[in-house]
């Protein structure tokens, strides 16, 4: 007797789903290259005197915006 369960023939996209799950599982496994890439990307982005590492000051930013607005609207 044959079983009436689902098989790869009867389920549309079975092999696609299998490939997607396999690729998804492999995607989250870090490789040996990943830490090296992260380190080099960070060192390129952060240089001495870079604006990327300065603290954010919303008060200073707000004052600068007000000064610019004031200068633009002067008669």
pLDDT tens-digit series, residues 8-40: 566 677 778 888 888 777 777 666 767 777 776
Comparing 32 with 71, which gets the higher pLDDT?
71
Question: Which pLDDT band, with edges at 50, 70 and 90, does 47 fall under?
Answer: low
Measure the CA–CA gap between 15 and 34, rounded to whole angstroms: 29
What pLDDT sits at residue 16? 82
Distances (CA, A) of 41 to 25, 35, 73: 25, 10, 42
pTM for the structure as a whole = 0.27
Residues 8/15, Cβ–Cβ less than 8 Å = yes
């Amino acid at each position: 007797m044959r079983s009436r369960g689902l098989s790869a023939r009867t389920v549309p996209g079975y092999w696609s789903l299998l490939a997607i799950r396999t690729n998804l599982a492999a995607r989250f496994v870090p490789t040996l290259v990943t830490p090296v890439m992260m380190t080099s990307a960070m060192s390129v982005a952060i240089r001495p005197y870079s604006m990327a590492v300065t603290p954010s000051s919303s008060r200073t930013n707000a004052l600068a915006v007000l000064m610019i607005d004031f200068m633009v609207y002067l008669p």
